[in-house]
């Protein structure tokens, strides 16, 4: 799928694109943020990668900036399997869940989601368009003046939504900090907290649950343009403010 400035695609194991994706994961989660212990593996190019035992049970997506094909963001969806989910041993999840039919075989996990450093939000950016040219708005600006790129976030969540609708995964959990969860809720994604904040991780995060059906209801009531974007696989993001 594509938007104005970004191209989104699933990457498959044992391909150059998959290696590049694992290299990008290492750059963000190991080298930059220090949230994940480096596994000590390298790609065929000799660059360090980040990978774990959940990867073989996951589907993996990368966002490319079309102007230069650089990696702008990425995400994996851990699918239901005997391996379980990555959040389970690290976070408290309150039961029962708010949806009666949210059984383990219908819940995936949004995991290893990140936006490359030079595409990230740098300040509060309310009332700005969803679309924006990254070259003029971000690369040529000091960090404090960079514009937020919600087109990237919408595009990655469109991939997640389409995967879930096509695979029978009706719910997803995600461990998020308060900043990112507020952003997604403001965009119309009905994430529901299902556990307490884990103060032992940095930044503190908690587990949220989202329903594919509730996405349709929420966006249909609040942001019909975004819902059409999620469902129709159209090429451009909605120019909403």
Residue 84 sits in a domain of what CATH number?
Answer: 3.40.630.30
pLDDT for position 145: 37
Q: What percent of the chain clears pLDDT 90, i.e. is strictly above it?
A: 62
Domain of residue 137 covers 6-232
Q: Is 238 contained in some domain?
A: no
Q: What are the tokens at 217?
A: 């209801």
Q: Is 114 contained in some domain?
A: yes
Range of weakest confidence among 8-17, 84-93, 108-117, 123-132: 123-132
Q: What is the C-alpha to C-alpha distance for residues 18 and 24, in angstroms, rounded to an integer?
A: 10
Q: What is the pLDDT of residues 139-179, one digit of tens each?
A: 444 444 344 457 888 889 999 999 998 898 999 999 999 98
Q: Is 237 contained in some domain?
A: no
Q: Is 241 contained in some domain?
A: no
Number of domains in the chain: 1
Mean pLDDT for the stretch of residues 22-39: 94
Q: Is 29 contained in some domain?
A: yes
pLDDT for position 142: 44
**pTM for the predicted model, two decimal places:** 0.85
84, 85, 164, 201 from 211: Cα distances, Å: 19, 17, 10, 25
């Amino acid at each position: 799928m594509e938007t104005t400035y970004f191209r989104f695609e699933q990457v498959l194991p044992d391909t150059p694109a998959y290696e590049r994706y694992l290299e990008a994961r290492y750059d963000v989660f190991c080298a930059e943020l220090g949230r994940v212990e480096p596994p000590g593996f390298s790609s065929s190019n000799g660059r360090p990668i980040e990978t774990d035992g959940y990867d073989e049970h996951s589907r993996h997506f990368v966002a490319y900036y079309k102007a230069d094909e650089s990696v702008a963001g990425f995400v994996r969806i851990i699918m239901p399997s005997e391996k379980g989910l990555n959040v389970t041993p690290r976070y408290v999840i309150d039961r029962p869940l708010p949806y009666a039919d949210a059984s383990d075989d219908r819940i995936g996990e949004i995991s290893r989601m990140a936006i490359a450093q030079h595409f990230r939000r740098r300040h509060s950016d309310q009332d700005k368009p969803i679309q924006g040219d990254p070259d003029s708005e971000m690369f040529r600006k000091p960090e404090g003046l960079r514009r937020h790129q919600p087109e990237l976030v919408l595009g990655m969540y469109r991939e997640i939504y389409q995967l879930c609708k096509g695979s029978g995964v009706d719910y997803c959990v995600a461990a998020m900090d308060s900043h990112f969860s507020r952003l997604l809720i403001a965009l119309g994604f009905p994430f529901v907290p299902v556990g307490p904040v884990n103060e032992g991780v940095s930044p503190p995060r908690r587990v949220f649950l989202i329903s594919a059906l509730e996405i349709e209801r929420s966006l249909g009531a609040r942001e019909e343009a975004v819902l059409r974007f999620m469902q129709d696989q159209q090429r451009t993001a909605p120019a909403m403010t």
